[in-house]
Chains A and B, each alone.
Chain A
Amino acid sequence: GESVGLHLPTLSVQEGDNSIINCAYSNSASDYFIWYKQESGKGPQFIIDIRSNMDKRQGQRVTVLLNKTVKHLSLQIAATQPGDSAVYFCAETFSGGYNKLIFGAGTRLAVHP
C-alpha cells in the first residue's frame, strides 16, 4: 500500500539549535500535508499544515517546506526547546480521499540541555 515517511529515526539536538525533520511521501495526488507532534502516551497534536499549491508556510517557531518535485516535506523548528522533545509525524491526504490521513513512520526528536 501507499506509505509516507521513513523508518523511525531519532534526531538529537542541543537546546537552542534549529531542528529539521524530513519526510518523504509517495502519493503524487496528495494535496494537503500536516505535521503532528506526539508526546509519550498522548494523541497527536496538530503543528502546522500546508497545501500543495504552496512550497513554504511559517508558524510560530516552525516552518514547513514542501518540494513536490521530489515528494519531500520538512519541518523546521527554530530555537529548539526541551518541550519540543516528542515524536513528529508527517501525514498526507488528498481531496478525493475524504480526509483519510496517511501517516509517516515518525521521527523522534530528543532535545538535550
Chain B
Amino acid sequence: GAVVSQHPSWVICKSGTSVKIECRSLDFQATTMFWYRQFPKQSLMLMATSNEGSKATYEQGVEKDKFLINHASLTLSTLTVTSAHPEDSSFYICSARLSGGRGTDTQYFGPGTRLTVL
C-alpha cells in the first residue's frame, strides 16, 4: 500500500514551453502533497506544500508564478513549470502525506520526473 505515482517519468522540452507533472496517490487519499526538486548529487529541496482545495504554500525563493501547483482532488496534485528554461532542468519529486494512527504522518514519495529543458 501507500503508492505514489508520477507522470511523466521523464520529459524533454524546448526552452519557453510549459510542462505539467502529475502526482497521484494510488491507494490512499492525501490532503497534503509536497513537491521537491533535486539537482544531481544533491539533496532534495522542498519547493512547496500542496493542500487539497486551497492555495499551495511555497518555500522561500521559489517563484509561485513559475511553478504552478494545483491540488484539485485528494489523489492528484500537479506541478506546471511555466516558460521552462535550461536552469529548470532537474529531478522533480512529489510526496503524499498519509495520516497514521500514531499522531505522526508519513510521507510517501513518487518515483520522480526528470525534466530536461533544451
Question: Contact residues of A with B, CB < 8 Å?
Answer: 1, 5, 8, 32, 36, 41-46, 49, 51, 89, 95, 98-106
Cβ of B73 < 8 Å from any Cβ of A?
no
Q: Do A100 and B34 have beta carbons less than 8 Å apart?
A: yes
Cβ of B97 < 8 Å from any Cβ of A?
yes
Q: How far is the CB of B93 from chain A (nearest CB, A)?
A: 5
Q: Among the interface residues B6, B43, B106, which one has the most CB atoms of the partner chain A within 10 A? A: B43
Residues in A neighbouring B46, C-beta threshold 8 A: 100-102
Interface size grouping (class) on chain B: 20 to 34
Q: Do B108 and A46 have beta carbons less than 8 Å apart?
A: yes
Q: How far is the CB of A67 from chain B (nearest CB, A)?
A: 20
Number of CB contacts from chain A to chain B under 8 A: 56
CA distance A27 to B49 in the complex (A): 20
CA distance A63 to B104 in the complex (A): 20
Given A98-B32, A100-B34, are A43 and B43 neighbors across the interface (CB < 8 Å)?
Answer: no
Q: How far is the CB of A107 from chain B (nearest CB, A)?
A: 11
Cβ of B105 < 8 Å from any Cβ of A?
yes
Task: Give the nearest-CB partner of B9 in chain A.
Answer: A41
- For chain B residues 59-116, which have a beta carbon within 8 Å of chain A? 60, 91, 93, 95, 97, 104-112, 114
